[in-house]
Amino acid sequence: MAPAQGVTATSITLGVAGTDPAQLEAAGVQADNGPATKDLYTAWIAAQNKTGGAGGRQIQFAFQPFLPTGPAAAQAACVALSKDQAVFAAIGIFTGDTPLCFTQTEGVPYIGLWGQSADRDAKSTKAPFLAVEMADDRQRKAGVQALLDQGLLKGRKVALYWEAQDDAVTKNVVKPLLQAAGVDVVAETPLANVGTDQSAQNQALDTVVEKMKSSGADTVLNTSNFSNIMVAFQRKGWLPQQILATSQQALSTDVMATTGIMAATMAPLTVAASYAPTKAELAADANVTRCVQEYNEAFASSAVDMAKVSLEILSGIAHQCAAFELFVQVTDKVGANITLDGWRTAAEGLGKLNLAGVPIGSLGPGKHSVGDAVGIYTFDASTSQMVPTGPAIAATK
């Protein structure tokens, strides 16, 4: 069988769609995002090639600057990597269904930092869709189960909130779990898909908050986007006694900074989401420190100081490094004859994994997302951060 696209006897081409600092500045984003994505992969690929590359082949690098501003930008980046640069596999920060351009249309294996789901997995008929973070359906199931185990839903009057993109996972996974546990859901408050018009979205969110308030709910369980409903609570001047969320987005300090969510709005919040290691845990992770060291050796003038780097930046480095490590490990396992089917089989055969910043992880037949751990987080007003209430919790199957 002929080798796959982007593969020769001596090389394999990896594409990365990542943010470019110049594009961020042009878009008006001035935040310190740490090392440029292109520089991180340049350093890691050079270091890996010195040790033999991946599967005995040298890794060729194709970088596509990309801002996740919507389907059109994602489609353009996908086509640039898949067709113009003819990569074998791609790593990216695509959202929603946009990675399916690679795995359903172009036949290019895709490794995302997030975004796997049962539905997207089933649609990835031409190439595998792998993800570092726990798949959406498993993440919601494990998060809600952790909240149930903590007793946070017992005896509560719950308003269940979700957005259109999470309709299937909420109805097929979350609602049956709540029903089986006997949770009193006094209101279902889905947000209708009103497009990109901000005024229409705000109006729809305000209606949702009014419905929650009038239902007598003392707890809101949010299984979707974190920031939209929190901003709506502020705008309407109403908070439930307890807000429970299952999105890792809630753990980002940048979300508070960019959306204007106030500390008082965060106070009743508890999050059960994919486990996000603390800075101390990341600094003690041998894979993370190796990734930082390889970058620092290649880009000494912009070296990362482990003592001063923010948790946000270090977490971002770890996520990207984990995706690269996963690509290498699958390619090492597949053997000399690299085909799409062979690469998929190799990924499923990896079993338990040790990747940067991933406390518990694995891949297997039908399981194409690595993450296997969730955490419970509450808001610490003294640091304006969400902090873990305990160690990583192994997710149930």
pLDDT digit string (tens) for 204-249? 999 999 999 999 999 999 999 899 999 999 999 999 999 999 998 8
Domain membership flag for residue 364: no
φ/ψ of 358, rounded to 5, equals -115, 105
Is 66 or 324 the better-scoring residue by pLDDT? 324
Domain membership flag for residue 74: yes
The reported pLDDT for the residue numbered 24 is 63
CB 159 within 8 A of CB 212: yes
pLDDT digit string (tens) for 305-330? 999 999 889 999 999 999 999 999 99
Q: pTM score, two decimals?
A: 0.89
Distance (Å, whole) CA 225 – CA 149: 23
What is the total count of domains within the chain?
2
| Res 397 pLDDT > 70 | no
- In this structure, the answer to whether residues 100 and 20 fall within a common structural domain is yes
The reported pLDDT for the residue numbered 26 is 67
* DSSP 8-class letter at 369: B
Q: How confident is the model at residue 362 (pLDDT cuts 50, 70, 90)?
A: very high
| Res 31 pLDDT > 60 | no
CB 14 within 8 A of CB 87: yes
- In this structure, the answer to whether residues 196 and 84 fall within a common structural domain is no
User: Which residues 6+ apart lie within 8 Å of 139 measured at CB?
Assistant: 133, 246, 248, 273, 274, 371, 374
pLDDT digit string (tens) for 196-211? 788 999 999 999 999 9
Q: How confident is the model at residue 194 (pLDDT cuts 50, 70, 90)?
A: confident
- In this structure, the answer to whether residues 58 and 173 fall within a common structural domain is no
Whole domain around residue 222: which residue ranges? 137-275+375-394
The reported pLDDT for the residue numbered 255 is 81
Domain membership flag for residue 116: no
- In this structure, the answer to whether residues 141 and 241 fall within a common structural domain is yes
Domain membership flag for residue 369: no
- In this structure, the answer to whether residues 202 and 253 fall within a common structural domain is yes
CATH label of the domain that carries residue 337: 3.40.50.2300
- In this structure, the answer to whether residues 142 and 259 fall within a common structural domain is yes
- In this structure, the answer to whether residues 158 and 203 fall within a common structural domain is yes
Q: 91: which strand partners?
A: 16, 111
CB 158 within 8 A of CB 215: no
